């Protein structure tokens, strides 16, 4: 693995290493135009003067990074990421590694964070979450030669190793279960559009509903928050042909949907069955407890951490398929009162 050096900056700028040093440290000896060109090149390849000492010593950071493009307030209430991080931390601690976590506003800011972390030797590798189709982060990380593991897939990860779970199979199992109960009007409140796992679930939902002949099956996009989950639920339940079952892409939205349905006077599960994705303690604390798709998320995080630590040592890693989420029926699902 090759990190950017002062020699790389000098070669790209067509100047000596001394001139690069003058420019980066604000010393006289180069023109202002040359200084600006050197600074731009250093920023582009992720080199920082603060990285020089560590570069000379060859020391590692003993830390890995996770940048998340989600509002911090959402991360605090979403059990998935808390459980994922707990699994990652457990594995890292055993190897005396630290986790550097940063919340970013958008993908451009996330890419800038990776360039800075790598250039300043703050991390030895990173986790990539919320994979998108044709994700702009993948070629950047390949160019930087920054060790990384993508948490998501399958596919769309370039040459980077990944860990993923079969969301399509889990979604098909859920719809088939609801149909076996007698439901014919099934809807879904999805996650953020554009995310690969959201698109996989949306496509699988449409295909299985078409195969089973379910009329009017639709997906309403949302953003994983309780507020948007509640809004999507009101829209679905206010329609002329309201669904008798709704699948939610996370537990927070499912709990919000349960509250809205009860406010509207619907009995759960007689009038409306509810299924949550990513089982959590929250799903069992509400009444009735929610039927949910669950998997061992801390173990998922631990697998990702082991993959990344192996990649950091130079080991060639490939994609790893983790367990598929399994359905746990609880009190929120039953045959519909009106079929």
Write out pLDDT tens, residues 116-151: 898 888 899 999 999 998 899 999 999 989 999 999
Chain position carrying tokens 């929120």: 332
What pLDDT digit, counting tens, does each position of 161-178 carry?
999 999 999 999 999 999
Mean pLDDT of the chain: 90
Residue with tokens 């000896």: 29
Q: What does pTM read for this prediction? A: 0.81
Residue 335 · residue 205 · CB < 8 Å: no
**Bridge-partner residues for 280, per DSSP?**
none
pLDDT digits (tens, 9 = 90+) for 179-228: 999 999 999 999 999 999 999 999 999 999 999 999 889 999 999 999 99
- pLDDT tens for residues 53-85? 444 445 578 999 999 987 666 666 778 888 999
Instruction: Give 319's contacts (C-beta < 8 A, 6+ positions apart).
Output: 153, 154, 157, 161, 162, 163, 164
């Amino acid at each position: 693995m090759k990190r950017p050096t002062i020699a790389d900056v000098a070669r790209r700028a067509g100047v000596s290493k001394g001139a690069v040093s003058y420019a980066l440290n604000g010393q006289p000896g180069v023109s202002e135009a040359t200084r600006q060109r050197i600074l731009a090149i250093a920023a582009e390849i992720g080199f920082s003067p603060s990285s020089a000492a560590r570069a000379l010593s060859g020391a590692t950071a003993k830390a890995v990074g996770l940048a998340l493009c989600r509002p911090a307030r959402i991360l605090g209430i979403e059990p998935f990421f808390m459980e994922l991080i707990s699994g990652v931390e457990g594995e890292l601690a055993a190897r005396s590694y630290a986790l550097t976590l940063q919340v970013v506003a958008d993908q451009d800011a996330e890419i800038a964070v990776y360039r800075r972390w790598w250039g300043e030797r703050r991390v030895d590798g990173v986790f990539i979450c919320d994979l998108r189709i044709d994700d702009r982060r993948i070629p950047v990380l390949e160019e930087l030669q920054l060790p990384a593991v993508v948490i998501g897939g399958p596919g769309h990860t370039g040459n980077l190793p990944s860990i993923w779970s079969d969301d399509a199979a889990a979604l098909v199992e859920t719809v088939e279960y609801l149909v076996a109960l007698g439901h014919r009007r099934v809807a879904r409140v999805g996650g953020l559009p554009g995310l690969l796992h959201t698109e996989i679930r949306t496509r699988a939902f449409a295909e299985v509903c078409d195969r089973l002949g379910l009329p009017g099956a639709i997906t309403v996009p949302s953003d994983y928050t309780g507020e948007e989950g509640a809004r999507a639920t009101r829209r679905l339940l206010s329609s002329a042909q309201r669904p008798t079952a709704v699948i939610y892409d996370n537990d927070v939205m499912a709990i919000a949907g349960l509250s809205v349905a009860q406010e509207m006077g619907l009995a759960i599960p007689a009038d409306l069955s509810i299924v949550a994705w990513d089982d959590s303690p929250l799903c069992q604390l509400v009444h009735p407890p929610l039927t949910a798709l669950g998997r061992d998320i801390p173990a998922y995080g631990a697998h990702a951490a082991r993959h990344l630590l192996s990649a950091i040592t130079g080991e060639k890693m490939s994609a790893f398929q983790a367990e598929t989420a399994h359905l746990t029926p609880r009190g929120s699902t039953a045959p519909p009162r009106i079929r």
